[in-house]
């Protein structure tokens, strides 16, 4: 169990063990949200943004016919230089 004290300004110091678990560095942002069960979740905001982006792009590569790095390069070339 880790304990943090809230300052008069509402600030807390995230315990070192939790910073390591969340891979937090100086200047990172943390995300607080409440689950429908009432449980409060704390996450690394950068990690959550990556998960959200991955979910948003899920299936896009397949729909564009992109299966490997060569397909990515072909798509980039088509966008840069027009379809050949």
What are the boundaries of each domain within the chain?
Answer: 16-81
pLDDT digits (tens, 9 = 90+) for 35-61: 999 999 999 988 877 778 888 888 888
pTM, full prediction: 0.55
**How far is the C-alpha of 12 from the C-alpha of 49, rounded, in Å?**
23
Token digits of residue 22: 């969340």
Residues 7-29, mean pLDDT to the nearest whole number: 93
pLDDT bracket for residue 84 (50, 70, 90): low
**How far is the C-alpha of 47 from the C-alpha of 45, rounded, in Å?**
5
């Amino acid at each position: 169990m880790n304990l943090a004290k809230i300052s008069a300004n509402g600030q807390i110091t995230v315990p070192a063990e939790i910073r390591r678990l969340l891979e937090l560095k100086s200047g990172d942002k943390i995300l607080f949200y409440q689950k429908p069960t009432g449980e409060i979740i704390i996450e690394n905001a950068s990690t959550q943004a990556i998960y959200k982006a991955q979910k948003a792009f899920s299936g896009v590569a397949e729909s564009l016919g992109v299966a490997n790095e060569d397909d990515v390069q072909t798509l980039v070339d088509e966008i840069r230089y027009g379809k050949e």
